[in-house]
Homo-oligomer: A and B are copies of this chain.
Amino acid sequence: MTMGSMHTLELAGRRFTITRASAEDLLAIVALLADDVLGRDREGAGMATYERAFHQIDQDENQLLVAVRDADDRVVATMQLTLIPSLSRAGATRLQIEAVRVAESTRGSGLGTALFRWAHEWGREHGATLAQLTTDSSRTDAHRFYDRLGYLPSHVGFKLPL
């Protein structure tokens, strides 16, 4: 899936660009995933494992792995967007948002909010009528963030290792 063009965000004097992640961004994205209170215990795999996963995502036309860069070209945020066609809710295509991380260095810049608004627009452009995500019950700051964006915490998210 192509992104049309890169998108630029100007926020409080700081400039960020939203891009489709490339293989060169992988190390920086995995570092963002690991620099997290829950992620640090989960992200211990070797790079070959992440490279394999990256290629699977990259080849799936319903997936978009996002890398956000700051003015110094550092990757400072990431999210994975998945388009899921479905029958329920009157044949709704769902925009699923996973693996959201924003670097500490950009907190308070408004980047998180701007990135989600951009993601919702991207979803609408691709036919999605519902955005959905889950977040760990312990991430109370994230719950407030999603509440401010208009999300409703209507569901319980269950997980089972296979």
Contacts and interface: CB of A to CB of B under 8 A. Distances in A.
9 contacts: A39-B88, A53-B91, A56-B93, A63-B85, A120-B162, A131-B162, A136-B154, A143-B156, A153-B158
Contact of A42 (B88, B120, B153): B88
Q: Which 8 A-B pairs have the closest CB atoms?
A: A155-B157, A53-B91, A56-B85, A45-B90, A151-B158, A134-B155, A88-B99, A157-B157
Interface string A3-21: 0000000000000000000
Nearest to A152: B159
- Range, interface on chain A: 35 or more
Contact of A90 (B43, B84, B96): B43
Interface in A42-58: 42-45, 49-50, 52-54, 56-57
Interface in A66-117: 80, 82, 84-93, 95-96, 98-99
A160 B131 contact: yes
Nearest to A29: B87
Main secondary structure of the interface of A (DSSP, over half): mixed
A141 interface: no
A150 B160 contact: yes
A65 to B, nearest CB: 7
Given A52-B91, A98-B84, A149 B153 contact: no
Contact of A159 (B45, B120, B130, B143): B130
A157 B134 contact: yes
A80 B94 CA distance: 13
Contact of A137 (B156, B159, B160): B156
